[in-house]
Each structure stands twice: as structure tokens, then as C-alpha cells.
Amino acid sequence: MAQDSQAYVERYLEETIAIARQLDRTEMVRAASLLRELRQAGGRLFILGVGGSAANASHAANDFRKIAGIESYAPTDNVAELTAWANDVGWHAIFVEWLKTSRVGARDALLVLSVGGGSATVSRNLVLAMEHAKAAGARLVSIVSRDGGRARELSDACILVPVVAQERITPHAEGWQGVVWHCLVNAIL
């Protein structure tokens, strides 16, 4: 059994190294520049994610707010409001309604954390929020994997976590969200 664990750990860490080598540094610099401009303009950063990415959104909101000095919010931090929206308008509309109430606009930005980036059938709540924010003039940064989904299509800067092992897309994507946002927070200091 220990041998199986050792082999898995070695494989996982080798995959992690491969991802680090393949990350698009140009997109990361583009995202850092956009976030620096956002802070200078006094805009707000709304950080969206579901599942493990929702937990990451909460942590990222703290870091962008406390360390980078950007007014930042993760709507998933207010479970009472989100579940009220889910009850009243459906799960698919929780983020878009939250953004409407927040009056998201051209001075603001979204940071979307997602494994697949959303589509017509998966993470529709993220897709509707991104489409609304873009229509309101907000900028969009995403940290996603797979093919990037709708987030990649809509983003001003999209950091795509490369797929190096089909069976470990989610742990790598969610783990690398943290690596990338920590890099961005400190890159704009």
C-alpha cells in the first residue's frame, strides 16, 4: 500500500511540475496588469466559483482585499443571500442577481475560478454572471482548465491550467487556482 501511495505522490508532483512549465505567463501578466489598473481606478473585484472553487473564491477575496488593496467580494461568503436567490429565481441565476444588486459596472472586474469555465449546461450560474458583467462593461479574468469553456471566450485574461492527467483535472485546476491568484496578488504590490 505504501508503494502505491509513493507512486501516486511522485506522479502527482511530476504533473504539477509539467503544469508549471506550461502555464501561459503572458496571460498571467495580462491579468496582473488588469488587476493593477482596477485597483488604481478604485474598481471592485467580484470573485466567483462553485464547489471547491467557491472556497478558493473566499480565500482569494481576502488576499486581494487585505494584501493587494482591492475592494473584493466573494458572493458565496453570504450563504443566506445566495440560497434566498436560489429559492426565488433558481440556482442558475444566483450570481447574476447578486451582481445586479451590487450594480456591477465598467469600473469593476470579475475573477472567475472554475474547473471547466462553464457552458450552456454546466456552471450556468457562472456563465450568466459573466455575460451580465461583460454587458455592463466589467473586465473579466479567469483561472480555468479543460478547454476554458465560456470563461475563456469572455475573458480579457484567461489563465488556462493545462490538462496533464484526465483523471486529475479537478484537483490540479483547483490547486492551481490558489497558486495563480497568490502570484497575481503579489505581482501587483
Question: Which residue type sits at 121?
Answer: T
Q: Give residue 2's pLDDT.
A: 67
Q: pTM for the complete prediction? A: 0.96
Q: Give residue 1's pLDDT.
A: 53
How far apart, in whole angstroms, are the C-alpha atoms of residue 39 and residue 137? 16
What tens digit of pLDDT does each residue of 5-34 get?
Answer: 999 999 999 999 999 999 999 999 999 999
Class of domain 2-187: alpha beta
Q: Give residue 44's pLDDT.
A: 98
State which residues of the chain have pLDDT below 70. Answer: 1-3
Phi-psi domain of 148 (left: phi exceeds 0; alpha: psi -120 through 50; beta: other):
left
Neighbouring CB atoms inside 10 A of 103's CB total 9
Question: Over the chain, what HEC string results?
Answer: CHHHHHHHHHHHHHHHHHHHHHCCHHHHHHHHHHHHHHHHHCCEEEEECCCHHHHHHHHHHHHHHHCCCCEEECHHHCHHHHHHHHHHHCHHHHHHHHHHHCCCCCCCEEEEECCCCCCCCCCHHHHHHHHHHHHCCCEEEEEECCCCHHHHHHCCEEEECCCCCHHHHHHHHHHHHHHHHHHHHHHCC
Q: Give residue 3's pLDDT.
A: 67
What tens digit of pLDDT does each residue of 127-136 get?
Answer: 999 999 999 9
